[in-house]
Amino acid sequence: MATQSENIEIIEVKHRTQLQEIWRRYKKNTRAVIGLIMLLILIFSALFASVLTPYDPLETNYSLRLEPPNAEHPFGTDELGRDILTRILYGTRISLTVGLIAVSISSITGCTLGSIAGYYGGRIDNIIMRFIDVIMAIPGILLNISIVAALGTGLQNVMIAIGISSIPGYCRIMRASILSLRGQEFIEASKAAGAKDFHIITTHIWPNAMAPILIQATLRIGGAILACASMSFIGLGIVPPTPEWGAMLSTGRDFLRDAPHLTAFPGMAIMFSVLAMNLMGDGLRDALDPKLKD
């Protein structure tokens, strides 16, 4: 009996930071890990495009027009004799840039507007949210087309257009989280400690509202890549000869019967990247909010 106390083990509680905890949950999800690996492949090919292939994405070669996939050109060549694999690898740069910057534009603007609307309420809320409703009422692709038509084509304007058209989602998510957080006692406590509104929003509200915004952003990167490709497809996005997946699809369309590889590979690249972002977004959602899982 006396020895019993010796048997009691002191259980060491492992201290994990918030990030470690999220990562632990994230990596348990196989699909999410696949998504992450796919994204890493994309980033890798974007960074090392010039090392990975011996060809130049813009160099034409008329003797090698519309070559089907072969050992020298694994994805074949296009109507001007350019290596398609090379163009897809370089295209990754554009797609990832567009995805990242368009999402940054829309999330930053959307979060700011949503925070102001949710925190102050009343008339400001009404004005901002009606403005958001107007943006939402216009179909995304139509809005993109009209913005690009007004600003002109080009990478920068496409990013702005895609950014603007996806503001509403962030704005509404942010507003909703703030409405539920605003009534919490710790917000009142911070006010009672003499904090300014700006301080309360940035240090107390944003960290608490970050999870849904992060998920939305990840999922929207895929959407932005797709939107950019469709803009280029209809000739309003990135102008040829810049290697862009949507533009490649568009030119390949004319040769669909004789050389399907012109459209198949860029199409697969778009699918690959959108899938990567969606898998990651889903995984992140499960990792950030374990309650949502079941």
Partner 1 sequence: MDNTKKLLEIKDLTIHYVTVDGTVRAVENLDLSINAGETLGLVGETGAGKTTSVKAVMKILPVPPAKVISGQILFKGEDILKKSKKEMRKIRGAKISMIFQDPMTSLNPVMTVSEQIEEAIGLHNPKKSRREIKKLSDEMLETVGIKAERSMDYPHQFSGGMKQRVVIAMALACNPELIIADEPTTALDVTIQAQVLDLMKKLKDKFNTSMIMITHDLGVVAEICDYVAIMYSGEVVEHGTREHIFHNALHPYTKGLFACIPNLYEDEKRLKPIKGLTPDPVNLPKGCKFHPRCPYAMEICSKESPKTAMMDEGHMVKCHLYKEGMADGK
Q: Is 83 helix (H, G, I), strand (E, B) or coil?
A: strand
CB of 11 to partner 1, least distance (A): 15
What's the min distance (Å) between Cβ of 198 and partner 1?
Answer: 12
According to the binding rule CB under 8 A, does residue 63 interact with partner 1?
A: no
Q: Map residue 224 onto helix, strand or coil.
A: helix
Binding to partner 1 (CB under 8 A) within 148-187 occurs at: 184-186
Task: Report the C-alpha gap between 93 and 104 in whole angstroms.
Answer: 16
> For residue 178, what are the CA distances in angstroms to 50, 203, 213, 282, 290?
46, 13, 12, 23, 21
From candidates 63, 150, 193, 291, binder to partner 1 by CB under 8 A: 193
Q: What's the min distance (Å) between Cβ of 199 and partner 1?
A: 7
15 or 257: CB nearest partner 1: 15
Verify binding: residue 24, partner 1, rule CB under 8 A: no
- Answer for which of 82, 87, 172, 204 binds partner 1 (CB under 8 A) is 204
What span, in angstroms and rounded, lies between the C-alpha atoms of 136 and 121? Answer: 20
Q: How far is CA 170 from CA 105, 118, 167, 179, 208, in A?
A: 11, 12, 6, 14, 15
Helical segments of 166-260, H only: 167-182, 185-192, 197-199, 206-233, 245-252
The CB-of-119 to partner 1 minimum distance in angstroms stands at 13
Among 188, 254, 258, 289, binds partner 1 (CB under 8 A): 188
Binding residue for partner 1, selected from 192, 257, 291, 294, defined by CB under 8 A: 192
Burial class (CB in 10 A: 0-12, 13-18, 19+), 11: exposed
CA distance 200 to 213: 18
Size of the site for partner 1 (CB under 8 A): 18
- Does position 207 interact with partner 1 (CB under 8 A)? The reply is yes
Q: Does 196 bind partner 1 (CB under 8 A)?
A: yes
Residue 124 neighbours by CB distance under 10 Å: 14
Q: Considering the complex, what minimum distance in angstroms separates the CB of residue 187 from partner 1?
A: 8
CA distance 103 to 224: 7
- Integer Cα distance of 12 and 27 in angstroms: 23
- Single out the segment in contact with partner 1 by CB under 8 A; choices: 48-56, 157-165, 190-198, 277-285: 190-198
Comparison of 199 and 253: residue with beta carbon closer to partner 1:
199
Q: Which stretch binds partner 1 (CB under 8 A): 66-74, 140-148, 192-200, 267-275?
A: 192-200
Contact status: 199 vs partner 1 (CB under 8 A): yes
CB of 128 to partner 1, least distance (A): 20
SS3 for 293? coil
Give the footprint of partner 1 on this chain (CB under 8 A): 18, 184-186, 188-196, 199, 203-204, 207-208
